[in-house]
Structure 1
Amino acid sequence: MAHDQDYVRESTGHHRLSANTLKNNSASKPENKARVLGPVQTVLITGASRGIGRSLAVGLAQPGRTLILVASKVSRLNGTAGECEVKGSDVITIGCDFAKEKSVREMLSILRSTHEIDMIINCAGVFGEEKVPWEASPEDFDRTMQVNLSVPFRIQHALVPAMLERGGGRILDLSSGAAVVDNPHAPAYYVSKTALFRLAGALHEAGYERGLRVLSLAPGVVQTDMTAGIKAHADRSDWTPVELSVEITRAFADGKLDALSGKQVRAGTDSLEDLLRRAAAGSPAESKRLRLTGWE
Structure 2
Amino acid sequence: MADASLAGQVALVTGASTGIGRQLAHALADRGAAVAGLARGAERLTAAVDEIAGATGRPVLAVAADVTDAAAVDAAVARVVEQLGPVDLLVNNAGLVDAAEVPVWAADREQWWAVVASHIRGPQLLIGAVVPAMVRRGRGRVVNLASGMGARAVPEYSAYSVGKTGLIRLTEALAASLLGTGVHAFNVAPGLVRTEMTDSMPKWEGHTAWTPPERVVELVCAIAAGELDDWSGRFLRAGADTPDTVGRVVLEEGARQLRLRPHGPDDPVA
TM-score using structure 2 length: 0.88
What CA distance in whole angstroms lies between the structure 1 residues aligned with 2:27 and 2:209?
23
**SS of 2:203's equivalent?**
helix
What CA distance in whole angstroms lies between the structure 2 residues aligned with 1:45 and 1:86?
18
Q: Do the aligned partners of residues 194 and 276 (structure 1) sit closer, same or farther apart at CA in structure 2, a change above 3 Å counting?
A: same
Q: Structure 2 unaligned runs (5+)?
A: 1-5, 265-270
2:179 maps to: 208
- Aligned mate of 2:108, from 137, 151, 165: 137
The answer to whether the Cα contact below 8 Å between 2:33 and 2:58 also exists between their aligned partners in 1 is yes
Correspondence 1:82-231 to 2 at 5 A: 82-98=51-67, 103-104=72-73, 106-111=75-80, 115-129=85-99, 130-231=101-202
How far does the alpha carbon of each residue in 1:179-237 deviate from its partner, in whole angstroms, 9 at most, with x for none?
10111111110000000000000110001211111111111111000000111101211
Q: Do the aligned partners of residues 266 and 40 (structure 1) sit closer, same or farther apart at CA in structure 2, a change above 3 Å counting?
A: farther
What CA distance in whole angstroms lies between the structure 2 residues aligned with 1:275 and 1:57?
23
1:254 maps to: 225
- Structure 2: which amino acid aligns with 1:271? T
Alpha-carbon offset, residue 285 of structure 1: 3.2
Alpha-carbon offset, residue 89 of structure 1: 1.8
- Aligned mate of 2:28, from 47, 54, 60: 60
2:268 maps to: none
What CA distance in whole angstroms lies between the structure 1 residues aligned with 2:32 and 2:15?
22
- Structure 1: which amino acid aligns with 2:206? D
Alpha-carbon offset, residue 105 of structure 1: 5.3
**SS of 2:216's equivalent?**
helix
Q: Structure 1 unaligned runs (5+)?
A: 1-37
Q: Do the aligned partners of residues 102 and 212 (structure 1) sit closer, same or farther apart at CA in structure 2, a change above 3 Å counting?
A: closer
- Structure 1: which amino acid aligns with 2:10? T
1:238 maps to: 209
- Structure 2: which amino acid aligns with 1:76? R
Q: How many residues align?
A: 256
- Aligned mate of 2:15, from 31, 35, 47: 47
**SS of 1:187's equivalent?**
helix
Percent of aligned positions that are identical: 32
Alpha-carbon offset, residue 138 of structure 1: 1.7
What CA distance in whole angstroms lies between the structure 2 residues aligned with 1:285 and 1:189?
27
The answer to whether the Cα contact below 8 Å between 2:68 and 2:125 also exists between their aligned partners in 1 is no
What CA distance in whole angstroms lies between the structure 1 residues aligned with 2:44 and 2:142?
24
Tell me which moved more, 187-196 or 80-89: 80-89
What CA distance in whole angstroms lies between the structure 1 residues aligned with 2:242 and 2:60?
30
Alpha-carbon offset, residue 73 of structure 1: 2.4
Q: Do the aligned partners of residues 60 and 112 (structure 1) sit closer, same or farther apart at CA in structure 2, a change above 3 Å counting?
A: closer
Tell me which moved more, 54-63 or 82-91: 82-91
- Structure 1: which amino acid aligns with 2:215? L
TM-score using structure 1 length: 0.80
The answer to whether the Cα contact below 8 Å between 1:118 and 1:163 also exists between their aligned partners in 2 is yes
Matched, 1:287 2:255: yes
When the two chains are superposed, the root-mean-square deviation of aligned CA atoms in Å is: 2.0
Alpha-carbon offset, residue 132 of structure 1: 0.4
The answer to whether the Cα contact below 8 Å between 1:61 and 1:85 also exists between their aligned partners in 2 is no
Tell me which moved more, 269-278 or 192-201: 269-278
